[in-house]
Chain A
Amino acid sequence: MNNMRKHDSDRLFAGTLFLFAVLLILLGLIMVSVMISGSWKSITAFDFSFLSGQIWNPLRHSYGALPFLYGTFVSSLIGLILSTVVGVGTAILLTQFGHIKYVKIATILLDALAAIPSVVYGLWGLFVLVPWLRNTGEPLLKTELGAIPFFNGQIWGVGLLAAGLILGIMMLPTIITVSRKLLDNVPQDLQDGAIALGATRTEKVRMVVLPYSRVGILGAVLLSFGRALGEAIAVTLVIGNSPTISTSLFEPGDSLASVLANQFLEASTHLYLSSLYEIGLVLLIVAVLFHTASKLLIWRVSGRARIL
């Protein structure tokens, strides 16, 4: 640089830009402070019994959030398992087995999958998926796998399984997109090493491709899990909205985000409203934790390059 003194207009410009950054941080702080101040009454009233309480009955002033935590994690976990198997499988298919022509078409279709709004998935879930589960899917699971407690219970259609399936579908695009980028980044010479030893495509994937990208894929899975935990609309439409804890995945449940969607505007007492804010706070903390963990994992493998 030939002149050390920064130009005045440059300094003004940099200052202006800094304001935008401050504004963003401010938005974040408002978010956090609203949740904390809103839930203060509930935090002081219940301590940790709020999280461990199993009964949620505002009419009787009983506020236990455990059923929502349970429903949130179980439904997201079902989604996670399904979308990991299907999504990583699809990513392997597209990067290791695919013909370029088909891959291009599939990419457009997968973009479309990501673009469908959650409320439309919820609508489809409620009127297409749930009736199918009630009439075909769940009875089949019950006869085949009824020995496992998860698949043994009264059949409703709506419930944890329906919510898990919808979440799985909604998690797919992220998992596929990130996994594809990670799989494409596996160095070709490592793959050639496996092929030159006589490995089939499958064996190459197992020996080199997956071991090389597994940490990043774990990051992608955590990221989409974090997002699934907070999905309100689609889940509300299919989970059944009943604050119970049941082993059977066929039973209705409720989640943190969907109890907010259903009850936030109905809260009739200060304590009721405050305990809903506390549910929001819990959701915020969980989302931040998963977001941070997944970012760290993906950074670790991609050398801070932005894959997401």
Chain B
Amino acid sequence: MGKSLVVESLSAFYGKQQILYHVSMTMPEHQVTTIIGPSGAGKSTFVRCLNRLHETTPNARMEGSVWLDHQNLYELDPIIVRRKVGMVFQAPNPFPTRTVFENVAAGLRLNGIRNKSIISEQVEKSLQLSSLWDEVKNSLHQPVWNLTRGQQQRLCIARALAIEPSVLILDEPASTLDPLSSLKIEELVEELKSHYTIVLVTHNLQQAARVADLTALFLDGELVEQGSPAELFTRPKDKRTEDYLTGRFG
């Protein structure tokens, strides 16, 4: 299911302002790649380029290429791209007027699937994957605001998984959650990597070190260094990485 994602010389702009400078990196299949860096470093913009969400903002533009399974995502229809690359956001953003079930089914219905048994099968599977099933199986048709924020975030993960993407992007998924919910999301990421290529943006260095197979550090729109967390955190090659990790940066 998971496929590696290859980024070549990616630059991103808001109007005349450049946000990302020629980023190239590979996010291998069935691994967790964490993106770290101070706020404003371009982490979110980077991942928003991967599913072509960046270009939906007015005046936003990007250059370079992103390859998934030998296909350049920038030459595909954005809708197909977003079907292959799922995304979970900083704050839980379930559709407020829909039920738990309908939130997870939303992507399936968009894609024209009408068969009820396929939909409920897929909804259950996705909720199982995001380890939310046991908590919501009796309240599938309740409004989403009955869920806790942590549950809502796992619901958003289930929503993204329901259309079976190859890549799952999580943009600081735990940054607005309590520590316990945050830990749950972290465990979930570990479980999910056997099925998906995972890209996790985080500002929490411990978390990055714990779950990552590969870590990349962004500073001021540039990819400064990438490598296994063991290397990057203990023997940084770049002076700027060292400065950032020891807190001497920004």
Contacts and interface: CB of A to CB of B under 8 A. Distances in A.
Chain A directly contacts chain B within the complex, with at least one CB pair under 8 Å: yes
Interface of A: 100, 187, 189-190, 192-200, 203, 207-208, 211-212
A195 B85 CA distance: 12
Interface in B114-160: 156, 159-160
B93 A211 contact: no
A211 B156 CA distance: 18
B91 interface: yes
Interface string B78-99: 0110110011011101111110
- Chain A binding surface SS class: helix
B79 A200 contact: yes
9 contacts: A187-B93, A189-B93, A196-B51, A196-B89, A196-B160, A198-B83, A199-B110, A200-B79, A207-B106
A207 B159 CA distance: 14
A196 B87 contact: yes
Given A196-B87, A197-B160, A198-B111, A211 B97 contact: yes
A192 B53 contact: yes
A195 B56 contact: yes
B107 interface: yes
A200 B97 CA distance: 19
A211 B163 CA distance: 23
Contacts of A211: 95-98
Contact of A197 (B56, B80, B163): B163
Contacts of A193: 89, 93-95, 156, 159
A189 B156 CA distance: 12
Contact of B82 (A100, A187, A195): A195
B110 A203 contact: yes
B77 to A, nearest CB: 9
A194 B98 CA distance: 13
A136 B119 CA distance: 50
B58 interface: yes
A162 B95 CA distance: 41
Contact of A196 (B53, B95, B98): B53
A211 B94 CA distance: 13
Given A189-B91, A195-B56, A196-B51, A212 B96 contact: yes
A193 B86 CA distance: 10
Given A192-B53, A197-B107, A100 B160 contact: no
A193 B87 CA distance: 8
B58 A100 contact: yes
Given A196-B51, A198-B80, 19 more contacts: A189-B89, A189-B93, A190-B96, A193-B93, A193-B156, A193-B159, A195-B56, A196-B82, A196-B86, A196-B160, A197-B106, A197-B107, A197-B159, A198-B163, A200-B79, A207-B95, A208-B95, A211-B95, A212-B97
Closest 6 CB pairs of A and B: A211-B97, A198-B82, A196-B87, A193-B93, A197-B107, A189-B93
A256 B175 CA distance: 59
Contacts of B51: 196
A48 B159 CA distance: 57
Nearest to B83: A198
Contacts of B160: 196-197
Contacts of B110: 197-199, 203
A192 B93 contact: yes
Contacts of B106: 194, 197, 207
A197 B95 CA distance: 12
Contact of B90 (A189, A198, A199, A208): A189
Interface in B150-186: 156, 159-160, 163
Contacts of B90: 189
- Best-buried of A100, A195, A212 by chain B (most CB within 10 Å): A195
Contacts of A187: 93
A297 to B, nearest CB: 16
B160 to A, nearest CB: 7
A208 B87 CA distance: 17
A192 B56 CA distance: 9
Nearest to B48: A192
Contacts of A207: 95, 106
A187 B90 CA distance: 13
A282 B56 CA distance: 51
Contacts of B86: 196-197
Given A190-B95, A193-B93, A193-B156, A198 B79 contact: yes
Contacts of A198: 79-80, 82-83, 107, 110-111, 163
A218 B102 CA distance: 24
A199 B95 CA distance: 13
Contacts of B80: 198
A196 B91 CA distance: 14
Contact of B95 (A194, A195, A200): A194
A25 B160 CA distance: 56
